[in-house]
Amino acid sequence: MNKVKGYRNMLNETQLDWAKLLNISRTSFNKKESGQVPFNDREKKKIKSHINNALQKQNEKLVTIDELFF
């Protein structure tokens, strides 16, 4: 399982939730999450911010773009 999917599952959110966050279709998000198509820089920043907002509320260590995507 990739890290993006792992964090999405940890937050109990669906692909549709994250597709809406990124303003793309669920199908497009699925292709990006599965590695068929890369996330662009704007999407990477939005995902990182979304995850870190949730982690901050739980007093957890924040993640970087490098940790998520590389």
pTM recorded for the entire structure: 0.95
In this structure, are residues 42 and 69 in contact, taking their beta carbons and an 8 Å threshold? no
Q: What is the CATH number of domain 3-69?
A: 1.10.260
Tokens of 62: 């924040």
Q: Is 52 exposed, middle or buried (0-12, 13-18, 19+ CB in 10 A)?
A: middle
In this structure, are residues 22 and 47 in contact, taking their beta carbons and an 8 Å threshold? yes
pLDDT given at position 62: 98
Confidence label for 3 from pLDDT (cuts 50, 70 and 90): very high
Q: pLDDT of 11-66, one tens digit each?
A: 999 999 999 999 999 999 999 999 999 999 999 999 999 999 999 999 999 999 99
Strand, coil or helix: what is 35?
A: coil
Residue 1 has pLDDT above 90, yes or no: no
Provide the residue ranges of all domains of the chain, joining segments of one domain with +. Answer: 3-69
